[in-house]
Structure 1
């Protein structure tokens, strides 16, 4: 049976709502542990970047230690980002149906407890970041300004998803920085493509809240595009593919990477075709499907590296 305190977009029957101590569960919800799609979407640009660096550097596979560190860091920093977002948005969240049962607006956690939890997650993320080279560490720290800005953007900027994209796509720079101790144009192109991808999929996600957002005065790309939301997402995804083609060409990727990118593009096109502004549950399914799309692309890039062994 679903936990009555779980949120509408949480994974039903998730272990965080079943086997953990009851007193831990509000904090796990604050970190969105029962919604793993968030850390997957934060992680995937990191893994793409690690694979792109391996392709450009002639390596046989993405650095496995870096990939594991990115995984741990994505979980920690996604949780920290969500905690920070909920602290800032605790009053707005009471006015949106999907968010009013979050731990802070519902009173399951106090502000002081949320702040302590935010610090603990930040320390965990810092411990991961310090395992990389000095340039990658500085690159990671540079993302904090964008992360801090994002929760406020929905109050006055019609496309807050662009700022979310700047933050969530940052990993597209990190894998390259960790591998080379610098940035290169392939990583920049991958970053730009990842930003467009984030704007596209988060526009689909925002369709769930479009009516409540209008009542609460919250701005979003879904409201901005309105009846032309399919076109808006299609443009975002087209930019994604264009920038990724550029990144692959500059990194001298092989056929396997481009085939994977083609499958990735078809997956995004399928999402656009199935967008329905009046189907919130369908929007959530399409949003979550981006994990599979991203893993397909990463697998193709990794295969491209492995094929260089032969």
Structure 2
């Protein structure tokens, strides 16, 4: 039993399950707005399974593809895909199982969700290889998480609405913006190994400015989401607080690069939760 528990902990460390906090709130935000309130326990359960399996697939494939790179980077050399705790075959099986779970859950939701599950998995999987030939990897990661609101509204109403596109675009630039900040940690390593990232190609100052621009776009698109969806004061407050939190994130990183982890995990984690709570309040009131 201890062996199985230990192995589960290794897989948890592999995919960093707690990082699901970045996408889950925006899936449920889309579902709440699409349903004009509570969308039911069935969709709640299916939504969680879809989100978690999709992310596990993406992270599992990423760890499999990056095991040679991770082994050379001091920051990632202790990951389970590198230090021998999880062999490549186990990671592939884990990844494949999660892909099948995602497709199965999508089939149970509705035909459009099922049809979209295949291109979604392709996009999620492509991120793992992009940084080997293009600096657009940051945008691809943003698109990967930006699909979450689209998936949420498709699950409820089997359509893609204009406001959900605005919400998704906001998520895309939010994620791409904080990934730029996070990738500053590997700027020198990426440059040495010939990996493509905006920090390694253009330097830290350009990266900071581009991240700030992306986050300004985030606020614009989220404000458009609230306006097009005809939401109220609490929703606009969510956008305003998001702007404040993103501003604080940039303040932390510009002040001290050692604060990147705090900015990445703490600020962005709370942002999604706060946004979700305020949208719930907006619909409730």
* TM-score, scaled relative to structure 2: 0.90
Alpha-carbon spacing, 1:105–1:121, altered in 2? closer, same or farther (3 Å): same
**In the alignment, what sits opposite 1:235?**
213
Alpha-carbon spacing, 1:254–1:71, altered in 2? closer, same or farther (3 Å): same
**In the alignment, what sits opposite 2:235?**
257
**In the alignment, what sits opposite 1:29?**
13
* Alignment deviations for residues 265-287 of structure 1 (CA, whole Å, 9 cap, x no partner): 1111111122138623x101101
SS in 1 for 2:81: coil
**In the alignment, what sits opposite 1:157?**
134
Alpha-carbon spacing, 1:177–1:160, altered in 2? closer, same or farther (3 Å): same
In 2, Cα distance between equivalents of 1:86 and 1:196: 23
SS in 1 for 2:67: coil
In 2, Cα distance between equivalents of 1:210 and 1:20: 37
In 2, Cα distance between equivalents of 1:124 and 1:45: 21
Is 2:257 aligned against 1:279? yes
Q: Between Structure 1 and Structure 2, which shows a larger proportion of helix residues?
A: 2
* Alignment deviations for residues 104-159 of structure 1 (CA, whole Å, 9 cap, x no partner): 22222222222122222223323332331111222233212211211111012123
Is 2:204 aligned against 1:226? yes
**In the alignment, what sits opposite 2:27?**
46
Q: Structure 2: give runs of 5+ residues left out of the alignment.
A: none
Q: 1:211: how far off?
A: 2.3
Alpha-carbon spacing, 1:126–1:273, altered in 2? closer, same or farther (3 Å): same
Q: 1:75: how far off?
A: 2.3
**In the alignment, what sits opposite 2:273?**
295
In 2, Cα distance between equivalents of 1:169 and 1:252: 21
**In the alignment, what sits opposite 1:203?**
180
In 1, Cα distance between equivalents of 2:215 and 2:39: 25
Q: Structure 1: give runs of 5+ residues left out of the alignment.
A: 1-17
Residues 1-310 of structure 1: matches in 2 within 5 Å?
21-33=5-17, 36-37=18-19, 39-54=20-35, 59-223=36-200, 224=202, 226-276=204-254, 279-280=257-258, 282-288=259-265, 289-307=267-285
RMSD of equivalent CA atoms: 2.2
> Is the 8 Å Cα contact of residues 136 and 177 (structure 1) preserved in structure 2?
yes
